[in-house]
């Protein structure tokens, strides 16, 4: 298998800070994700970690040496993987703006993951403030040199592929993005993921797909695999993309999977089945309960009655108790409020009910699109 074929034609879970922790990844894999991306982890943080084999859980843990320096007393777990389930399918996403640090950090995890992805697409201040994420799109020389260093000093020595995730550079003209793609593909990377929005666009804005043929062609000319990202919701839609752009094209889902990690299956589960299974997976890998709750709450609008109930929980047991009351009522709540209800019932799109794809529903989706609001939710619900 070539490095590129690892990604070819795959439907994958996107990197998502907080939301893409191990329970989401395991559930996505169980329900048909071909590969899963870790949340972005920043080079300096990873460098401070030690690798610990967690025998009881069967996981490999990366723990911050000397404890959690940002929140003393809180968990110092930075990254956890369950090789029994993730081996062969886990891409680690790195946040960096420094070639040397990038290599040093990537070497720490290289033996436990199946690829290293460079984040050059996240526009959020926590990423861009030090020149990382989408800020790298404004420093193409640096971006190129990080990728070259990773390919030579990590990819080649550990025999794992290096990839990059970018955004569109311009919403009117394909040339700047196509030119950058050619440059990046020449660094020796195996895959390029394009979030089809510009740095200034928010997730609630429709992605721009008109440049795709040119960008895909550029990748193919270097034998670099291409993954499309942005407003892709489920496997059926992915197959439609493949019909349009070719079977070698991959697809990446973020918010759709955050909302329902079974969306990779041809038949995603309804919410009252997703929730208990998600909690039980989270429990089985000893996930931080505050993180499990955060992900559950991201699936719900604040005004739903279940939001308040979940928000008060402090343990997986309590979350499970509430999830057992969700039933059909919960599914209806979700159908009524949740922007991604189409994931649960694709036929819904044909009815008059507002869905994610209708303008009516878009007016109510802002809470899912912006990190600051999610942060507010988190602050309101943090487990003691």
Ligand X SMILES: Cc1cc2nc3c(=O)[nH]c(=O)nc-3n(C[C@H](O)[C@H](O)[C@H](O)COP(=O)(O)O)c2cc1C
| Residues classed as catalytic | 122
Under rule CB under 6 A, residue 77 binds ligand X: no
Of the two residues 17 and 91, which places its CB atom closer to ligand X in the complex?
A: 17
Which of 25, 80, 89, 165 forms a contact with ligand X (CB under 6 A)? 165
Of the two residues 19 and 190, which places its CB atom closer to ligand X in the complex?
A: 19
- β 90-95/250-253 pair status: unpaired
Shortest approach of ligand X to residue 29 CB, angstroms?
Answer: 17
The owner of tokens 């619900």 is 381
Which of 188, 230, 250, 289 forms a contact with ligand X (CB under 6 A)? 230
Is the Cα torsion angle 47, 69, 131, 112 positive or negative in sign? positive
Shortest approach of ligand X to residue 59 CB, angstroms?
Answer: 20
Under rule CB under 6 A, residue 22 binds ligand X: no
CA dihedral 136, 140, 145, 148 (to 10 degrees): 100
Note the Cα 130 to chain centre separation in Å.
21
SS3 for 69? coil
Task: Report yes or no: 122 and 147 within 8 Å, Cβ to Cβ.
Answer: no
Structure tokens at 297: 């709450």
Report the alpha-carbon distance of residue 278 to residue 19 in Å, rounded: 12
Of the two residues 58 and 117, which places its CB atom closer to ligand X in the complex?
A: 117
Q: Which positions ≥6 away from 259 have C-beta within 8 Å? A: 298, 299, 338, 339, 340, 343, 368
Shortest approach of ligand X to residue 238 CB, angstroms?
Answer: 11
Site for ligand X in 253-272 (CB under 6 A): 253-256, 258
Shortest approach of ligand X to residue 286 CB, angstroms?
Answer: 22
Q: Determine the interface stretch with ligand X among 118-126, 278-286, 318-326, 342-350 (rule: CB under 6 A).
A: 118-126
Interface residue list for ligand X (CB under 6 A): 14-17, 19, 39-40, 93, 119, 121-122, 165, 195, 203, 229-232, 253-256, 258
């Amino acid at each position: 298998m070539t490095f590129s074929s690892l990604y070819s034609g795959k439907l994958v879970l996107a990197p998502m800070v907080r939301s893409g922790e191990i329970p989401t990844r395991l559930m996505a894999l169980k329900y048909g994700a071909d590969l899963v991306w870790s949340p972005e982890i920043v080079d300096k943080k990873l460098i401070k970690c030690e690798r610990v084999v967690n025998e009881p859980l069967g996981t490999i843990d990366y723990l911050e040496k000397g404890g959690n320096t940002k929140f003393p007393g809180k968990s110092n777990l930075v990254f956890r993987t369950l090789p029994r389930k993730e081996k062969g399918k886990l891409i680690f996403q790195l946040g960096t703006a420094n070639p040397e640090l990038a290599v040093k950090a990537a070497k720490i995890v290289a033996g436990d993951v199946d690829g290293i992805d460079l984040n050059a697409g996240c526009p959020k201040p926590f990423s861009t403030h030090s020149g990382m994420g989408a800020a790298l799109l404004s420093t193409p020389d640096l971006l190129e040199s990080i990728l070259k260093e990773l390919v030579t000093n990590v990819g080649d020595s550990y025999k794992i592929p290096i990839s990059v995730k970018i955004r569109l550079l311009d919403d009117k003209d394909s040339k700047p993005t196509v030119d950058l793609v050619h440059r990046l593909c020449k660094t020796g990377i195996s895959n390029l993921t394009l979030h089809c929005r510009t740095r200034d666009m928010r997730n609630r804005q429709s992605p721009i797909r008109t440049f795709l043929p040119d960008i895909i062609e550029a990748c193919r000319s270097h034998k670099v695999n291409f993954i499309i990202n942005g407003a892709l919701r489920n496997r059926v839609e992915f197959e439609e993309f493949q019909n349009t752009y070719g079977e070698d094209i991959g697809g990446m889902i973020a918010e759709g999977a955050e909302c329902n990690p079974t969306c990779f299956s041809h038949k995603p589960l309804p919410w009252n089945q997703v929730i208990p299974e998600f909690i039980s997976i989270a429990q089985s890998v000893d996930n931080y309960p505050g993180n499990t709750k955060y992900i559950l709450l991201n699936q719900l609008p604040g005004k739903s009655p279940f939001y308040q109930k979940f928000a008060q929980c402090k343990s997986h047991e309590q979350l499970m108790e509430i999830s057992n009351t969700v039933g059909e009522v919960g599914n209806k709540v979700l159908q009524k409020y949740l922007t991604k209800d189409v994931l649960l019932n694709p036929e819904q799109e044909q009815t008059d009910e507002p869905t994610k794809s209708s303008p009516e529903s878009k007016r109510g989706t802002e809470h899912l699109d912006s990190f600051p609001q999610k942060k507010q939710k988190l602050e309101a619900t943090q487990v003691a």
